Amino acid sequence: MNSWEKAYRKTDNLWGDRVDRSLIEYSSLLNDGDPVLDLGMGEGRNAHYFAAKGHPVTGVDYSSSAVRRCQELCIESGFEMETIVADMTQFPVPSSSYSLIIISNVLNFFHPDEIQRIIQKAISGLVVGGMIYIQAFNRNDPAYARNEKMAKKVDQGTFYREKNDTYIHFFTLDSLLDYFTGFEVLVVTESYRLDLTHGEPHHHGIIEMLVRKQAG
């Protein structure tokens, strides 16, 4: 059992129900019925927002407990969404299919080669005019310094954590923007924020980005 599944089994509603603010602010760029994909959706705090607005939403996560909780919340709230238990590194994103793809707080947990493949898949899954939303930790995140002391450094931003056989990568803004050459940049921010959503209050160094695919 992976560490995410263990965490979801310990508590209900691990990440709370606060929707990422930029998604609310820019949701008016979507037309009624535009399809949305949330990769690594957790219990679906962002996915639910769009499902409640009537968008066809697909949410993917490899924790079956998170996906079950997401479906329970849909039933409680009276809306529908498609939920899939799958590893997002293997999940085949259909090409030119989505108007919004959300990858929030999950892209850090891969080797850079996998990150590249996930982003390429997401880009090809977008319709022209479609948007990708990413929230990810940058190198100001306190976990970067902790990993420098405790984990094996693979490259400048990447660590291998032997204990659970996983990688963690911390982005720079430029390295993330590089994937989206030719895209319109709608939102790009870096911040150092207090996180009160889970566990003891703690801080994160965060990059938030919303980009839109252009024709051609």
Residues that bind ligand SAM (CB under 6 A): 4, 15, 40-42, 45, 61-63, 66, 87-89, 104-106, 109
Of 152, 184, 22, 167, which Cα lies nearest the Cα of 109? 167
Q: How far is CA 137 from the centre of its chain?
A: 11
- In order of 10, 63, 84, 103, 164, the CA distances from 2 in angstroms are 13, 8, 17, 19, 8
- Least distance in angstroms from the C-beta of 189 to ligand SAM: 16
- Residue spans of alpha helices (H) in the chain: 3-10, 21-25, 45-52, 64-77, 112-125, 142-150, 173-177
Q: Which is nearer to ligand SAM, 64 or 175 (CB)?
A: 64
Using CB atoms, what's the residue nearest to ligand SAM? Answer: 42
Nearer to ligand SAM, 83 or 105 (CB): 105
Closest approach, Cβ 56 to ligand SAM, in A, equals 19
Count other C-beta atoms under 10 Å from residue 12's C-beta: 10
Q: How far is the CB of 40 from ligand SAM (least distance, A)?
A: 3
Q: Least CB distance from residue 31 to ligand SAM, whole Å?
A: 24
Please say which residue, 25 or 184, places its beta carbon nearer to ligand SAM: 25
- Please report where in the chains the tokens 């919303």 appear, as a residue: 210
Among residues 109 and 180, whose Cβ is nearest to ligand SAM?
109
The residue (of 45 and 55) whose beta carbon lies closer to ligand SAM is 45
Residues 43 and 113: their CA atoms lie apart, in Å, by 26
Alpha-carbon gap, residue 122 to 101, rounded angstroms = 7
Measured distance CA(126)–CA(212) in Å, rounded: 9
Rounded to the nearest 10°, the torsion over CA 127, 33, 39, 7 is 170
Smaller CB distance to ligand SAM: residue 117 or 139? 117
Smallest gap from residue 8 Cβ to ligand SAM (A):
7
CB of 76 to ligand SAM, least distance (A): 18
